[in-house]
Every structure is written in C-alpha cells, then in structure tokens.
Amino acid sequence: MQSTEVKDVKKAMDFAESLLNKLNGGAICLMISIGHRVGLFDCMGDMEAATAEEIADKAGLNRRYVREWLDAMTVGGICIYDATTKKYDLPAEHAVHLTRKNATGNLAVLAQFIGMLGSVEDGIVDCFKNGGGVGYEAYARFHEIMAEESGQTVVPVLVEKVLPLAPGLHERLESGITAVDIGCGRGRALRRMASAYPKSKFVGFDLCDDAIAHAKEMTEAEGLTNIEFKKQDVAALDLSEEFDLITAFDSIHDQAKPDVVLKNIHRALKKDGVFLMQDIDTSKDVENNMTHPVAPMVYTISCMHCMTVSLAQGGAGLGAAWGTETAQRMLGEAGFDKLDLHKLEHDPLNCFFVARR
C-alpha cells in the first residue's frame, strides 16, 4: 500500500485506516438516509429485537432489501445482531439520535445531504474544470431535506427560544406586527410563527417555484389566513420601512448578492425593526474550524451546494463557511450597527444574529 517514498510507514498506515473509516462512514450515511426515508429507524425504535422478516413486515417493506440494510447497519455499528436468535436490535441510545421522536436532534435527517450532494457530483466536477455553478433546479430533494433540517434546528424552538433572543419581540408579535421571512423555502418557520401569533401578518419570499408552491399548499391545509408566500428575488426587493421583523434562516450565505440583500433588508425594516438572521457558525479562516464538530460537512455542503448555487447565478459564492467575522462585517456595511450574536445549545451548526435598524 505504501509508496517507496514514504518515510513514516506507521503514519501512512494510520492514515489509510482513517481513510477507510471515512469511506465506511460515507457508505453508511447513504444507508442511514434510506433507513430514515423508509421509516425503518422509527419502526425499530418502537420494537423489541426482531428478525429481518419481522422488521420488514412491520415496516411494510421488501424483506430482501431490509435484510441487506440491517446487515449494513450491523457492521456499521448502528444495530446489534444476535446470531443465535437472528434478531436485530436498535438500542435506545442509538434510536434517540435516529428517529423522528427526537424533534431537534435526529441525525438521520442530516445523512440525507450525502446522497443529495452525490446526485450533483457530475455537475460539480464540471465546475472544477470550467467554473460556473450548479443551480437550485439540479437538486431534486433540496427543499424537502432543508425543510426537515430547519424543522429540527429552528421550528421546534422558534417561539420558545429563538424569538426571545430579541427582547420585546414576542410581545410585539402578540400585539400584531408585519414580518417577512427571506429565503423562506417551504415556509415551515413562517407557518409556525403565523399560527403562534394570529394578530401579526407574515410574508415569505423565495426564489424557487417548487418551494413556494409547497409552502402555499401547506398554508391552505393548515387553514392559516395571516400569511402569504410570493416568488421574489430578494436581491431585487425595493421596499422602504415596510416590516417590523425580518427573518432569514440559513438563507444569506448562499445568496448571489448577499451585500445587496442585506442592504435591501435594512431598508425594508421600519425604524427599530428587528432583523433575526440564523446562519452557519464557523470562522472564515479554516485554521479556526479544525475543532468545529461538523466542519467537514459544512465545507462539503458548501462546495456542493451553498457556494455553487450562488456561483450558478454569477454570484459571490461566499460559501457556508463565510464565517461570523464576514457576517458581522457585512451586516455592519449594510447599516446594522446594533448587533448581538447568540448560540443555542441544541444546535452546534448555527448561530443567531439579532440586529436592529
């Protein structure tokens, strides 16, 4: 395995072992994603140890595929297999991180990003050679996965923990104000706010037709009347002193024109209006991200999604690891000089900026 030029053979062998672990991890992530999508983790989380056939039948899935999946989960250290009884078990300590019962920390949701990014690999390879980017339309499941991700990091804690980061905001929302969510995607956060604060009016803007169509469908199904969704490029938003609250959940760093968007947000806020921005909690400098718990994922998702969708529009391509330093500088340049930075315990990936006009 080692080349003749390798001086430290042990170092080379240790590295090969660590690489093999990464290869196995990548492969298992694809299977975790499938297990999440077809409901196998949720099914096993509610069962005692059982045979492959029993698990497949309970989940209503094909027995052959489920057995192969269970064996992958077993050698991957996710399930425990008893060769005597031929039963597979998902221990409670594992189930807690892989089932929908955990509303804020189901890591199987994140595993879906691996398969999604793999689906655009050819396009990204082409960009490495020729520049440019891969556009939103290339990602068949992006908005679905993103809504699930923010459905864990933002939505369950939005009213209780996120909005109170801005003192007085909860009371203003209760009495009735006008709010807009920038890059709202499928609109789960906005729908949560609209149902919590019936006297306030909410608008969601997003670039993508499919996300807006889904948001409208869900709003109708939920019977919410104080909310509307519009297809709108927020770089072209030309409104002055219109909103009391503007939110942006994970939607600034992948903008084509983030500087223009932040200035548009500042202008669109009423005096003393609040801008609440959730974004990725990294440093702009890679050397400061070495101990970040999910840095490899951040840079990978950045290269294969956030950065490339921006570059596809001829944009800045800031990338997900633009860093809190860059975010603070750009918010300042947009006119936000009153700024607080917060971190919530359940979420190692993101932080919240609270700015006032």
Binding mask 110-139 for ligand SAM (x = CB under 6 A): --------------------------x---
Residue from 69, 139, 197, 205 binding ligand SAM (CB under 6 A): 205
Q: Residue 269 corresponds to which tokens in the numbers above?
A: 């806020």
Least gap, CB of 189 to ligand SAM (angstroms):
6
Residues between 218 and 257 that touch ligand SAM (CB under 6 A):
233-235, 249-251, 254-255
Closest-approach residue to ligand SAM (CB): 183
Q: Which is nearer to ligand SAM, 235 or 339 (CB)?
A: 235
Rounded distance between C-alpha atoms, residue 306 and residue 253, angstroms: 7
Rounded distance between C-alpha atoms, residue 109 and residue 111, angstroms: 6
Rounded distance between C-alpha atoms, residue 56 and residue 54, angstroms: 6
Among the residues of the chain, which ranges form H helices?
A: 9-37, 40-45, 52-59, 63-75, 92-95, 107-118, 121-130, 142-153, 169-175, 188-196, 209-222, 258-268, 295-301, 307-312, 323-333
Is 184 one of the binding residues for ligand SAM (CB under 6 A)?
A: yes
Binding mask 274-313 for ligand SAM (x = CB under 6 A): ----------------------------------------
Which range in 53-61, 66-74, 121-129, 203-211 contacts ligand SAM by CB under 6 A? 203-211
Q: Which is nearer to ligand SAM, 41 or 113 (CB)?
A: 113
Least gap, CB of 103 to ligand SAM (angstroms):
15
Query: Nearest to residue 265, comparing CAs of 215, 319, 206, 336?
Result: 336
Least gap, CB of 27 to ligand SAM (angstroms):
26
Rounded distance between C-alpha atoms, residue 37 and residue 40, angstroms: 8
Query: Nearest to residue 147, comparing CAs of 208, 205, 215?
Result: 215
Is 150 one of the binding residues for ligand SAM (CB under 6 A)?
A: yes
Residues 6+ apart with CB under 8 A from 73: 28, 31, 35, 79, 88, 90
Q: Which is nearer to ligand SAM, 96 or 235 (CB)?
A: 235
Among the residues of 231-270, which ranges form H helices?
A: 258-268
Is 148 one of the binding residues for ligand SAM (CB under 6 A)?
A: no
Residue from 35, 183, 273, 317 binding ligand SAM (CB under 6 A): 183
Rounded distance between C-alpha atoms, residue 217 and residue 211, angstroms: 10
Q: Which is nearer to ligand SAM, 44 or 309 (CB)?
A: 309
Rounded distance between C-alpha atoms, residue 353 and residue 338, angstroms: 10
* Binding stretches for ligand SAM (CB under 6 A): 136, 146-147, 150, 183-185, 205-208, 211, 233-235, 249-251, 254-255
